[in-house]
Structure 1
Amino acid sequence: MFSNQFLLLLGDWRGFGDISNRNSRDILFGAATAAHQIEGAWDEDGKGPSMWDKFVHDNQSRTADGQNANIACDSYHKWSEDIEIMKRLGLSIHRFSISWPRIMPNGTPNKINQAGIDHYKTFINALKEAGIEPLVTMYHWDLPQYLYELGGWLNEDIVNYFGDYARVLFKNFGDDVKFWATLNEPKSTCLVGYGTDTAAPGLNLVGDGVYRCAKVQLLAHAKAYHIYKDEFAATQNGKVTLVLDTPYNEPATNSSLDQYAAEVENEFNLGWYANPVYLGDWPEIMKTRVANRSQLEGYSFSRLPAFTQEEIDYVKGTFDYFALNIYSGTLTSYADDFPIGEPNFYLDKGMTNTHGEDWTPSTVSWLYSYPPGYLSNLLDAITEDQVNVIGYTLWSLLDDYEWTDGYTQKIGIVQVDFDSPNRTRTFKKSAEWYQNVIATRCLVDECVE
């Protein structure tokens, strides 16, 4: 059907209204994209290089097909066609990211690229004219290369650079953008980018760098949030959060040990970032497990860097709504602590995960290795659990550049012909199906009314 990654927006008590007075027509149905994955024009109109540009240009074998994102879907030039596609689908919200190096070529406020600002202003205005609400992601894995060379997400100075970038975005686009997401999937960009050598920046720091990256990203998110609240919220009246991602972790059995394992797995996935933002500080189980293993590994300190009380207070509560990306689920089993050896995030959490026997693989994409049904469960959450669901954006609007998979994964609901210089767009059956869901608010015979 389509990729089961989606953005789910959930309202909290700060102003989204009472769900008892809402119906299906209030839910914002949309689709998502990311700048590096669709825009192309990688060095046009003053844009600087991102760390992904450098990472792939230096070694084309880093992607499955040896391709890069220099052109991608060419959406930098074909954005108006993309909006027509959104209108045809009936979307009421569109989640997209702004390219940091297109606004600030080297990531610093020393040089602001007006051409980049003008491009996004035009795009946002066109979305609004089409009746489509923009949800803007400020960072989707395309760190300016210059800032990476300064240490990237391991350098706490990036917190202030990100704050300066956020201020430019709020100043230029805040009158028209009411939904902001500071960071997309910070866990994944840290764990995959800093925890492996296969994705940018490819440092393979799975024992300590992933935790350092997480702390810096959370402080950067909080910096942007406070800038908005202190300088812009009173006049712009928007909402800010970060977008988290997690699998759903089901205990493999009913045993108390497997139930504990699923809880630990949830804390090391969702809790890693959600706990500091929504409750304050790292999850206790993370602090305990990483500290214990660090000591046994010979460290005099925990590899999970501690927040000061001032930092805990600064990060806590930096959200106006809850945004979640979901890909898959796992069956989680308890495992005795792994032997002490090389420090490793996965050994720190110490659980084992499998998929159920009925979750058969598909030749289409690794994202399809489980049956569909997220919208059906979302419907249950609304009707049975009275969850205040604000919106849903599926990934992805277009076939795009899927990072290390290049163009081998075709997970958009709209096909893009990457062999054509025109990057021809064609509706897939999934687009037609989604178009009908939006129009009717029905999943087969299930409707939200």
Structure 2
Amino acid sequence: MFDTVSLRFCVFLFLATAANGEFAKSHEEYPRFPPNFVLGVATAAYQIEGAWNVSDKGESIWDRFSHYNDGRIFNNDTGDVASNSYYQYKEDVALIKKLGFTSYRFSVSWPRILPTGFANNVSQDGVNYYHNLIDELLANDIEPLLTIYHWDHPQVLEDAGGWLSSEMVDWFGDFARVVYREYGAKVKRFIPINEPTSICINGYTTGIDAPGKKLHGIGEYLCIHNTIKAHARAYRIYENEFKSKQRGQVGYMYSAFAFMPEDPNDVLTAEIAFEFNAGWTLNPIYSHNGDYPELVKSIVAEKSKQQGYTKSRLPEFEPEWIEYIRGASDFLAVNHYTTRLVKPGQSGIVPSHENDQSVVQFIDSSWKKAASDWLEVVPKGFRYILGELASKYGNPPMYVTENGFSDTGLLHDFDRIKYFYDYLKEMLLAIYVDGVNVQGYYLWSIIDNFEWRRGYSEKFGIVSVDFNHVNKTRTLKDSAVWWQTVLAERNLVPAE
């Protein structure tokens, strides 16, 4: 439903940022982190572990994708060894402890735990690896935040349809049950699926990520439909089978670009961009009535009709699924890096999720760029999107579970420090001035790692990894030293 009240609130928030910033600076709590605020670091299994064929581990879609050796990944890099964290996890935990972070977000590898993809064959070696990691974290007073799936599902399941198949909902539920059963006594926060929109657009629409399918206008909608169901299945399994004893939480993950209108008065374009991106996956869980946003349903149905389809390319949830999905989250996990400006217009392949919006996304040429071609530095967008999410969805508990800056591997990485400082400042404004319920922040990433299709050409770590050395030597960057001071003082130390 078109919500002018919340959109006007967000536009007001955008325009009032500077004034509110001066207000906050005059109060002594700024720029301190709130009491009990969680400060942690994040990684993902395929990006750091290596050991791709150790023991009985099965093949993942990223194993297959990176082994095509046809240029789809920069320099034909693979995650076969990556940061070697499978063998060096104790060193990584020691770094986290040394710097002063109190939580670590990591993912478990589906084919390492279930080599055939199915729950009838559980790898004891795979299970033990993550027990050892979790035990090492707890021994160092570091809270684990476990992502059940971070893009690396078994290739055998992809061969059977992957996220285009409704069977994936049950297969993922079975995997989640194994994870809860094994680790739920030690882990109290779980995220079932990392960035569903990234999976579905990059993996099943543009094909630039594994599994590399190009089914624009169809694939992304089927994929999201099944990932939302799979998240809900994982949530309900925990709720019904584990929560009463383990007393943990399961949260939904959203990859949050901020979409700010070129014209602050253009409420409609901002609304369409928000609903097609955030609302697409959050409305079924966080809205009062559930289901996809009415705006998205009506636009995709009309465009599908114009394009000659017999029904909307956007699948429909059955009433029982709407109820099953609605409310299936204890906290909202938000990954945020950058911002886009939006204006009315046509873009994208016909048909596609991008084209359906009739919105053009673009950047301001004055924005500073990171090494990644998609990442511009726009700190005010961070506060803007946090405010949007809070106003749209009842200000749920939020954890920022990824935020970071890429370069080409500098040890003296002042631009990364400046990025963190400016973004954290906007987050603190969102908390103290706007009242947004952010309870924790995890930077990406503790160490340099395999950056998907960019291989090892882009670095996000605050700790350098020498990928050319047999020992994958770790070296603190200036940003790590900066963070060590911030964590010791629990205060946003100036970047200078």
Taking structure 1 as the reference length, the TM-score comes to 0.91
CA contact (8 A) 1:291 1:301 kept: yes
Secondary structure, aligned partner of 1:423: coil
| Greater Cα offset, 171-180 or 383-392 | 383-392
Could you tell me which residue of structure 1 aligns to residue 446 of structure 2? Answer: 397
The match for 2:183 among 163, 173, 176 is 173
Of 215, 218, 223, the match for 1:208 = 218
Q: Distance in 1 between matches of 2:435 and 2:267?
A: 26
1:426 aligns with 2:478: no
Identify the residue that residue 81 of structure 2 maps to in structure 1. 71
Q: What corresponds to 1:134 in structure 2?
A: 144
Is the 8 Å Cα contact of residues 194 and 209 (structure 1) preserved in structure 2?
A: yes
Unaligned regions of 5+ residues in structure 2, if any?
1-31, 380-418
Aligned to 1:275: 283
Q: Determine the structure 2 residue equivalent to 1:82.
A: 92
The answer (yes or no) to whether the contact 2:369–2:375 under 8 Å persists in 1 is no
Residue by residue over 1:183-216, the C-alpha shift from the partner in whole angstroms, topping out at 9 and shown as x without a partner, is 0000111011101122111111121110000000
Give the deviation of 1:301 after TM superposition: 0.4
1:265 aligns with 2:255: no
Number of the residue aligned with 1:354: 362
Cα distance in 2, alignment partners of residues 354 and 63 from structure 1: 25
Superimposed CA distance per residue, residues 93-129 of structure 1 (whole angstroms, 9 cap, x where no aligned partner): 1000000000001210121100010110011011011
Change (3 A) 1:435 1:368: farther
- Residue pair 1:60, 1:68 contacting (<8 A) in 2 also: no
Query: Within 5 A, what are the aligned runs for 1:330-341?
Result: 330-335=340-345
For residue 68 of structure 2, what is the amino acid of its counterpart? D
Residues 34, 23 of structure 1: CA spacing in aligned structure 2 closer, same or farther, 3 A cutoff? closer
SS in structure 2 of the partner of residue 180 of structure 1? strand
> Does the 8 Å CA contact 1:332/1:351 hold for their aligned counterparts?
yes
Shift of 1:381: 1.7
Closer, same or farther: CA 343–291 of 1 in aligned 2, 3 Å? same
Residues 93 and 134 of structure 1 are in contact (CA less than 8 Å); yes or no, is this contact kept in structure 2? Answer: yes
Q: Distance in 1 between matches of 2:361 and 2:34?
A: 36
Q: Which residue does the alignment assign to 2:353?
A: 345
How far 1:444 moved relative to its partner? 3.2
> Which residue of structure 2 lines up, in the alignment, with residue 50 of structure 1?
60
Q: Is the 8 A contact 1:260 1:334 kept in 2?
A: no
Q: Report the AA paired with residue 268 of structure 2.
A: Y
Instruction: Please state if 1:414 is matched with 2:463.
Output: yes
Match of 1:227, as an amino acid? I
1:150 pairs, out of 160, 172, 183, with: 160
* Offset of residue 55 of structure 1: 1.2
Shift of 1:432: 1.1
Give the aligned residue type for 1:395.
Answer: W
Determine whether 1:385 maps to 2:434. Answer: yes
1:305 to 315, 321, 333: 315
Stretch moving more, 32-41 or 345-354: 345-354
Query: Alpha carbons of 1:445 and 1:407: their partners in 2 closer, same or farther (altered >3 Å)?
Result: closer
In structure 2, do the counterparts of structure 1 residues 386 and 112 end up closer, same or farther at CA, with 3 Å as the change threshold? same
| SS in structure 2 at match of 1:442 | coil
Compute the displacement of 1:386 (Å). 2.7
Q: Quick one: which amino acid aligns to residue 51 of structure 2?
A: A
Q: Distance in 2 between matches of 1:365 and 1:443?
A: 28
- Corresponding residue of 2:50: 40
**How far, CA to CA, are the matches of 1:358 and 1:37 in structure 2?**
32
Q: Give the match's secondary structure for 1:443.
A: coil
Q: Which amino acid aligns with 1:241?
A: G
SS class of match (1:397): coil
Residue 12 of structure 1: aligned partner: none
| Native 8 Å contact 2:347 2:360 kept in 1 | no
* 1:113 aligns to 2:162 (yes or no): no
Q: How does 1:226-265 map to 2 (within 5 A)?
A: 226-255=236-265, 258-265=266-273
Which runs of 5 or more residues in structure 1 are unaligned?
1-21
The secondary structure found in structure 2 opposite 1:69 is coil
Query: Which amino acid in the other structure matches residue 62 of structure 2?
Result: W
Contact 2:45/2:150 (8 A) holds in 1 = yes
Aligned residues: 421
TM-score (norm 2): 0.82
Could you report, residue by residue, the CA deviation over 1:345-366 in whole angstroms, capped at 9, with x for unpaired residues?
Answer: 1110110112223203345775
Which residue in the other structure is 1:9 paired with?
none
In structure 1, distance between residues paired with 2:363 and 2:452? 24
Distance 2:374 2:195 in 1: 18
- The DSSP-based 3-state class of the residue aligned with 1:40 is coil
Whole-Å separation in 1 of the counterparts to 2:90 and 2:350: 51
Give distance in 1, aligned partners of 2:37 and 2:465: 28
In structure 1, C-alpha distance between the alignment counterparts of 2:470 and 2:45, rounded to whole Å? 19
SS of alignment partner, residue 323 of structure 1: strand
* Root-mean-square deviation (Å): 1.7
Seq. identity, %? 43
Distance in 1 (CA, whole Å) between partners of 2:427 and 2:283 is 23
Confirm or deny: 8 A CA contact 1:241 1:319 kept in the other structure.
Answer: yes
Residue in structure 2 matched with residue 224 of structure 1 by the alignment: 234
